[in-house]
Amino acid sequence: MTEPAFTPASAFLGRLVERGYLNQGTDLTALDARLVEVEKGQRAPLIAYIGFDCTAESLHVGSLIQIMLLRHWQQCGQKPIVLMGGGTTRIGDPSFRDDSRPLLDDATIERNMAGIRRVFERFLTFGDGPTDAIMVNNADWLDELAYIPFLRDYGRHFTINRMLSFDSVRLRLEREQPLTFLEFNYMILQAYDFVELARRHGCSVQMGGSDQWGNIVNGVELGRRTQGLELFGVTSPLLTTASGAKMGKTAQGAVWLNPESLSPYDYWQYWRNTEDADVGRFLRLFTDLPEDEIGRLESLPGAEINQAKKLLADHATTLCHGAEAAAEARHTAETTFEQGGSGEALPTVPVPRAELGAGIPAYALMVTAGLAGSNKEARRLIAGGGGRLNGALIEDANRPITIEDLDAAGQIKLSAGKKRHALVIPA
RNA sequence: GGAGGGGUGGCCGAGCGGUCAAAGGCAACAGACUGUAAAUCUGUCGGGUUUUCCCUACGUAGGUUCGAAUCCUACCCCCUCCA
């Protein structure tokens, strides 16, 4: 557990504490000492892993803190392993959930894994070097597990009594939600993953979100009991916004890290709209900016805090999508919001020139532009004063929009409210 | 296997023969206020070209009624207690 006055000597743990990544860890003092030895060149880099589910074809902002943990780990001269849960995803982590996850088929898992791999390549350096990241898939060993030998070798180290006492299981049972035996095995397999990674790759540290604490501790103990290994666990805090909402949800859904799932412009916007109270915290967690700079930014008064939000958006987007995409997103945002214009990175919707020539009712165009889910919703939006055409309020939902409405740049800017815009271009 | 309770809109949760597209809350969207923030207030919140009209919807399939989310039958699923 975390010692209250723990002051780490190692670069890595020092950074975690300073930047707010540390929730708790097993024997942090010993881990700190090992890390220092590496820094002094007295031992080879330590190897840490974090496991990721393959439940979607991209990771989202909720996993970003974990990705950043691996990134800092690598920057501090240690070696990261990204563990893809190709095997465990077929079971579904029951931690703190009331319902079972839907079981995914192998093809879907495979596809998801490919999408997730690309995200990591932006945050970590992969390769064969001593501190290069590697990616492994736990299906490689879980798929071929033999049931009886596995039970005999590992099952005997788990008591049901203890497993039932873990919050992740206990809370579910207390709420009288069913927990299947399949899901119940998840924690055993995750513990086994840790031991297997130690054996195969010499991995000695597992990190993860605080909801993984129970699973991580199980792995540490299993390693000690079965092979006398000294393993460590480190968790990061569960993140919520200052107003208490879970991170990573927006109107359009999850904030994906993959440009196909969420455009860099929308990603930039997500960070730009951070609540005032979160700016400092997020700068520390999701950018590489130095502490003194962050201190200055987070104390900007009143509306000036918006400068800090832009920098947050710039740096977070650069990490995830590259500097070019970030610059374009910022440019688009500034022309759209500060000059009332429209930048290139706004979503564009091609509409056949002939249809525009004939005129399309405003409500219908809102729908094709993706700004409303149905004609009715579009009408409501316009009736409520939320529809704009090239910046001007749309009074009548039936008002035809034609080529006459093309602006100087040859496009039509449609807006739903102040933040959602789309460009209609004749095709 | 026996007894009882329950399955309602994105979620929670009322309704228990017409006045029900279904109270209330949350979430969401828009408006006002602002700073592309938070909080607050207002409006909207199944679909249909603007609708005193139509369609779809209250686990599934039938039925009784002029009329059902509400009653009946069968089936599926969940929960509780007993065995």
Closest CA to A27 of A229, A168, A239, A284: A229
pLDDT of residue A176: 58
Measured in whole angstroms, how far is the alpha carbon of residue A137 from the centre of its chain?
19
Residue nearest to nucleotide B27 (CA to C1'): A251
- Tens of each residue's pLDDT in chain A, 427 residues: 444 457 899 999 999 999 999 999 999 999 999 999 999 999 999 999 999 988 778 888 888 999 999 999 999 999 999 999 888 877 666 555 555 555 667 787 888 888 899 999 999 999 999 999 999 999 999 988 999 999 999 999 998 888 888 777 776 666 656 677 777 788 899 999 999 999 999 999 999 988 888 899 999 999 999 999 999 999 998 888 877 677 766 656 678 899 988 999 999 999 999 999 899 999 999 999 999 999 999 999 889 999 999 999 999 999 999 999 999 999 999 999 988 777 888 999 999 998 888 889 999 999 999 899 899 999 999 988 999 999 899 989 999 999 989 988 889 999 999 999 999 999 8
Q: Which domains does chain A have, with CATH numbers?
A: 11-236 (3.40.50.620), 263-339 (1.10.240.10), 348-426 (3.10.290.10)
Please, are residues A89 and A55 in contact by the beta-carbon 8 Å criterion? yes
Residue A302 Cβ < 7 Å to strand B: yes
A190 labelled ligand-binding:
yes
Please, are residues A84 and A119 in contact by the beta-carbon 8 Å criterion? no
Residue A417 Cβ < 7 Å to strand B: yes
Q: pLDDT tens for residues A218-262?
A: 999 999 999 999 999 999 988 888 776 777 666 566 788 999 889
Q: Using the CA of A303, give the nucleotide whose C1' is nearest.
A: B35
Residue A397 Cβ < 7 Å to strand B: yes
All residues at 6 or more sequence positions from A78 whose CB lies less than 8 Å from its CB, including other chains: A12, A35, A38, A45, A46, A47, A48, A131
The Cα–Cα gap between A8 and A40 comes to 15
Residue type for position A391: G
Residue type for position A247: M
Q: pLDDT tens for residues A298-347?
A: 999 889 999 999 999 999 999 999 999 999 999 999 999 988 777 888 99
Q: Give the pTM.
A: 0.89
- Number of helices and strands (H, E) in chain A? 19, 15
> What stretches of A232-341 show up as alpha helix (H) in DSSP?
264-272, 279-286, 291-298, 305-321, 323-337
The Cα–Cα gap between A58 and A290 comes to 29
